[in-house]
Structure 1
């Protein structure tokens, strides 16, 4: 029976991603972010449960990536679509099958994130070297980066921040940077705890503690800073 526990947790990730997709399409981005957070929580613990119970399986690996494709791939693309739609001031009005619509071409640019996520997850599934580290930004980290934007708009309500986030050129640039980081050759440490020893997981503990401090002090504005901190720390950490 225990071999089914990690896969059940992974399915909770997928369910969270499905719920987040619905809310993102409806432009309820706060609820979409909430369910993405739930999904990433389950994504972290399914692998941990599999290692603790010693029931890792190929099915679990594939199921995990399929769930991540929805929660951390599709949803961020839809959220960027919505942000670009809010940011644009005009554009070419498209018609579908002869019917007018207020949707322009620009928001679809956000789905580059979804395409980049799909490619990154496909590479991850066939790469046997990404065990104790990642090559490229993991899709959950990227999803947190994108989902932090509407939360910053809602909870920080700063005119300067709002002006930056709702600038279409900023959003387009972030979309391209996101897709690049997902598929870059940058080696990033993995938050996978094989045990609870500080000696074996010192960097991971320091990163988690530092992230918690930033979240408590800066709230949602801390998320982009944490992602940047994650990348920079990984680059400065000696490899091997």
Structure 2
């Protein structure tokens, strides 16, 4: 019975991603972000449960990537689609994008994130070396980066930030950077603790404490900074 518990948690990740997809399509990006965050929590929890219960299965590995494809691959692509539409039209549009009569090709470039996420997850599934570290930015981290943008727009009343985020060239550039990071050869540490020793996990403790401080002080603006910190600390850790 216990071998089914991690898979059930993974399905909760997938279910959260399905709900987030609906909200993203309706352009309720704050709610979409909320359910992506919930899904990512379940994504962390299923791996923790599998290690705690000492159960691992091939179906669990495949199911985990399928769930991530929705929660951390499809939803960020839709969110970028919506942000690019806003950038074109100069503001927030609460309409269902399928009902728009006038549409350019530009917003569809947001789905480059979805395509890059699919490729990254496929590579991860056949790579047996990504256990204590990742090669390329994990899809959940990338999803947090993309979904932080509408949260910054909604909760940080700053004209400069809004002007940057709703600039189509910034969004297109971020889309390409996101696709590159997902499939880059950059080795990034995983937040998996084999023991609680500070010596063995100094980089992880430093990252977690730094992230907590930034979340308290910067709120949603901290998320892209945390992703950048994650990459920088990984590079420093690899080349001390």
Does the C-alpha gap of structure 1 residues 100 and 145 become closer, same or farther in structure 2, counting only changes over 3 Å?
closer
Tell me the secondary structure at the aligned position of residue 143 of structure 1: helix
| Count of residue pairs the alignment pairs up | 232
Separation (CA, whole Å) in 2 of partners of 1:215 and 1:221:
8
Report deviation, 1:43: 0.4
Separation (CA, whole Å) in 2 of partners of 1:134 and 1:222:
22
After superposing the two structures, state which structure 1 stretch, 130-139 or 205-214, moved more: 205-214
In terms of fraction of residues, the more strand-rich structure is 1
Residue number in structure 1 paired with 2:125? 125
Residue number in structure 1 paired with 2:88? 88
Q: Is the 8 A contact 2:203 2:233 kept in 1?
A: no
Does the C-alpha gap of structure 1 residues 6 and 195 become closer, same or farther in structure 2, counting only changes over 3 Å?
farther
What CA RMSD, in Å, does the superposition of the two structures yield over aligned residues?
1.6
Residue number in structure 1 paired with 2:136? 136
Does the C-alpha gap of structure 1 residues 79 and 100 become closer, same or farther in structure 2, counting only changes over 3 Å?
closer
Q: Is the 8 A contact 1:48 1:193 kept in 2?
A: no
TM-score by length of 2: 0.93
Report deviation, 1:100: 7.9
Q: How does 1:43-58 map to 2 (within 5 A)?
A: 43-58=43-58
Q: Is the 8 A contact 1:51 1:194 kept in 2?
A: no
Separation (CA, whole Å) in 1 of partners of 2:197 and 2:44:
18
After superposing the two structures, state which structure 1 stretch, 206-215 or 142-151, moved more: 206-215
Q: How does 1:1-240 map to 2 (within 5 A)?
A: 1-89=1-89, 101-238=101-238
Unpaired runs of 5+ in structure 1? 91-98
Separation (CA, whole Å) in 2 of partners of 1:153 and 1:208:
25
Runs of 4+ in structure 1 deviating by more than 4 angstroms, as ranges, are none
Tell me the secondary structure at the aligned position of residue 134 of structure 1: strand
Separation (CA, whole Å) in 1 of partners of 2:89 and 2:4:
50
1:170-208 deviations in Å (ceiling 9; x for gaps): 000000000000000000001122344434322212211
Separation (CA, whole Å) in 1 of partners of 2:136 and 2:45:
21
Separation (CA, whole Å) in 1 of partners of 2:23 and 2:83:
14
Unpaired runs of 5+ in structure 2? 91-98
Tell me the secondary structure at the aligned position of residue 49 of structure 1: helix
Separation (CA, whole Å) in 2 of partners of 1:3 and 1:194:
21
Does the C-alpha gap of structure 1 residues 70 and 100 become closer, same or farther in structure 2, counting only changes over 3 Å?
closer
Tell me the secondary structure at the aligned position of residue 194 of structure 1: coil
